[in-house]
Structure 1
Amino acid sequence: MEVGEDAIASVKTDNSERADLLMDRFRLSVIAISEAEAEKLGMEISKPVAMCIADLAFKFTELLAKDVELFAQHAGRKSVNMEDVILSAHRNEHLHGLLKSFFP
């Protein structure tokens, strides 16, 4: 491996480790929120169900991020703005209405 290839491999490893860390933190946060909401309702949530909710939330977030990115690209921009987020919620009428009320 050449010096340039080593640097590229190192950056890819760093990015992969960072992505894994973010995914773990996201999942832990979703699990904590799920458990807190269940507790508010006087219920318990099993670990497998909490993990399933966390995985679904992560997959939804990945899809949302891709949609938002595509809306920005379609508009000829390199960065995402609130309009892209509102447009991405078009499949969920309730969420779309909430976003529009917060960000007219």
Structure 2
Amino acid sequence: MADVDEDEVRERLKSALWFSIGKIVDQESLDRNRNATPQFIAALTDLVWHQIETIATDLESFSQHAGRTTVTTDDVLLLARRNQDLYALIKDGIDKERAKRAKGKAKQRR
């Protein structure tokens, strides 16, 4: 019974991904005066889905290797280590969020 629920959730997630990618492709096609076939959208969706699965597996492996059960920002940074631009964007976002949280905690202490 749990397998059926998991399969159903997986299919619903894939459908939502297909819908979102379809909307993005349609908008880009209009902006660029081009056409995209449903087969292209399906192939792009499949590619993105497999990337998501690979990333999720890697993040889980990194956290398990560190002896944790939760994925942290350190795991995400480790995943992005080979792409300097992506790493810099993620690191900047993390630093800004940490600064914002620290500022909020400082206000609460006053």
TM bucket by the smaller chain?
Answer: 0.7 to 0.9
Question: What code does the residue aligned with 1:88 have?
Answer: L
Which ranges in structure 1 are unaligned for 5 or more consecutive residues? 1-9
The 1:34/1:93 distance shift into structure 2, 3 A limit, reads farther
Contact 1:90 1:96 in 2 (8 A): yes
Question: 1:58 maps to what in 2?
Answer: 49
Whole-Å Cα distance in 2 between the matches of residues 89 and 76 of structure 1?
20
Contact 2:63 2:72 in 1 (8 A): yes
1:19 Cα shift?
1.3
Whole-Å Cα distance in 2 between the matches of residues 34 and 84 of structure 1?
30
Contact 1:31 1:53 in 2 (8 A): no
1:15 Cα shift?
1.4
1:40 Cα shift?
2.4
Question: 2:38 maps to what in 1?
Answer: 47
SS in 2 for 1:44: coil
Question: 1:94 maps to what in 2?
Answer: 85
Question: 1:85 maps to what in 2?
Answer: 76
Question: 2:20 maps to what in 1?
Answer: 29
- Provide TM-score, normalisation by structure 1: 0.79
Whole-Å Cα distance in 2 between the matches of residues 37 and 84 of structure 1?
32
> What's the % identity of the aligned pairs?
29
RMSD (Å) for aligned C-alpha atoms: 1.5
Runs of 4+ in 1 over 6 A off after TM superposition: none
- Provide TM-score, normalisation by structure 2: 0.76
Question: 1:5 maps to what in 2?
Answer: none
Alignment size in residue pairs: 95
Whole-Å Cα distance in 2 between the matches of residues 97 and 38 of structure 1?
30
